[in-house]
A and B are shown apart, each in its own frame.
Chain A
């Protein structure tokens, strides 16, 4: 990563920089951030637990159905431990959570940790592919648009991205199903193929959900990056210096403006990454993907609070890690941020 994004002349220095990053200042940053994550995760779990308790109905009622007698419900509540006061249940949950055991599902009786692991892999693939696709398209499109602002390519790409930004991703998902699955029959609407079974089949089954998530992201990144690039090109003195050297506009754009614009992009991507893993819920539901979003939705319906709690916790952890990753990337790319090292 560090080597690939730097101009070649710096390549010989990059390993030294990586080593410096892994040495104390960078490591201190990671340590500090992970420590800061503890109160965040505690707060998130308390809040989730409290909100879930406010939802009427519990797992016992849901499992037994509307015909169950109050006695049956009470017995099951005792078996599941739902009769205990909230703080007791929370502390019990917390006690095992810190050891990595997120409890057993109230509904299926299976350990939540392993269940989430499988689901997270599917959601992770979905989000990961969506980021690769959206950034892979947005960066060249934004660069081309910013190369000649106001020209046809710029106008069309801005029109597309504004349109894309104003369409919710579940609407887009339904449109994609209608067009590519129903009308053209190019991609399946449902029928997830695990990666372990067939890579091609997996990608085929992932195409529409990835597109549904990637397209709004693509629109957003294109717009954001194009705007930032144009700001750099028109407003920054170092761009004038670069132009005054007599180098070509392509070099000015790539070596100077893009490099400085990438910081803003990384921040935005980091923020997106943190929220998106939880934002796949609806898309997973539409395409019947066995991801963590789908798991959480099912768990909410069955009042399987243990699973919901675990899902929310995972989302929070991903958000914290994504922001940390963005900050570390900053440090690698921006020489001014060196966390104390000179």
Chain B
């Protein structure tokens, strides 16, 4: 986790204060009745030679139009796999079950051809590493125009114009000239802006940002997040923010889902979650964020133990082997329940209402 993980808090205030001047305010509104995306008991396993990896084990959440949901978890918690499952972008060894309804359409079980209709047009994705996610041999403008034309009948010239517009929309300076440049001529932050332009080309209603700022330095990270929020307010796009960074979630998300070993262990409105952390795993993640007030050269607190082996998950609470409050009781799965209004967790021994350290 970045040592300045909690910095975007300050940035957020700024964005909300100033960035809405020229756009209709669509910011976090009360939950509309119709959710845009309803994920229900989504499961993904990878079948390989004699070994099955259970990457996602019953993920449920819903997301309203124009809102931001953060899915938080460490590497291997299944958060990226779950997102790719929505897009139908998993390799052929993946078996997806459960349900994910986008605006009433079931996404699980779609054929490649049907899934392709939604990709880019309904759901778009921004990936972690902008250096590798752009084709190094194609001009960036061409790569955006390709995304524009994938879901429209615009001719080449019109797609070109639209691509330049998109480059301007993501605040890339000199979009006309940049259109003809190659990815290696851009900085990391600029490349990620191009990736966002590609994602927005099909005017999607849902944008999945899969660790979209992880590979960037902190300042650029904040700029990219600001851009995403600004575009969200202008276009009303819903955002799923996939990250390992609790600070990011605290700053930018309306709701947070914490995943561990492919399962949801805690879920709440952002403010509720950080005010009353219940699941010990979330608590451990929060404790692992480096803080300025800590003694210099003191050891960073870490989540003890190893991430779970997803091909041999024990029954019960998957966090049990690493949890300090675990008892024999935990061998039998604590279900994910709404223990407080809007606040769900899966734990027999939730943390008490201890004062959570400020900063997040």
A interface residues with partner B (beta carbon < 8 Å): 7-10, 13, 234, 236-238, 240-249, 251, 255-256, 259-260, 333-336, 342
B135 and A13 within 8 A (CB): no
A-contact 0/1 string along B121-140, CB 8 Å cutoff: 10011010100111111110
Instruction: Judge whether B201 is part of the interface by a CB distance below 8 angstroms.
Output: yes
A-B contact count (CB 8 A): 92
B89 and A243 within 8 A (CB): yes
A244 CA / B142 CA spacing, docked (Å): 16
Stretch at the interface among B112-120, B263-271, B312-320: B112-120
Q: Contacts of B117 on A, CB cut-off 8 Å?
A: 246
Contact of B180 among A13, A237, A256 (CB under 8 A): A13
A7 and B136 within 8 A (CB): no
Contact residues, B201-220 vs A (CB, 8 A): 201-202
B132 and A238 within 8 A (CB): yes
The size bracket of the interface on B is 35 or more
Q: Contacts of B143 on A, CB cut-off 8 Å?
A: 241
Give the one of B91, B133, B185 with max A CB within 10 A.
Answer: B133
A246 and B180 within 8 A (CB): no
Q: Contacts of A248 on B, CB cut-off 8 Å?
A: 116
Instruction: Judge whether B182 is part of the interface by a CB distance below 8 angstroms.
Output: yes
Q: Contacts of A249 on B, CB cut-off 8 Å?
A: 112
Give the one of A8, A13, A255 with max B CB within 10 A.
Answer: A255
Q: Separation in Å of the B122 CB from the closest CB of chain A? A: 9
A238 and B124 within 8 A (CB): no
A246 CA / B112 CA spacing, docked (Å): 10
A248 CA / B112 CA spacing, docked (Å): 9
Known contacts A236-B132, A333-B137, A335-B136; is A241 also within 8 Å of B198 by CB? yes
Contact of B135 among A9, A259, A333 (CB under 8 A): A259
15 sampled A-B residue pairs with Cβ under 8 A: A9-B145, A10-B139, A10-B142, A238-B135, A241-B127, A241-B135, A243-B119, A245-B146, A246-B116, A247-B120, A255-B138, A259-B135, A334-B136, A335-B182, A342-B185
Closest to A240 in B: B89
Q: Contacts of B127 on A, CB cut-off 8 Å?
A: 237, 240-241
Known contacts A9-B145, A246-B117, A246-B150; is A240 also within 8 Å of B202 by CB? no
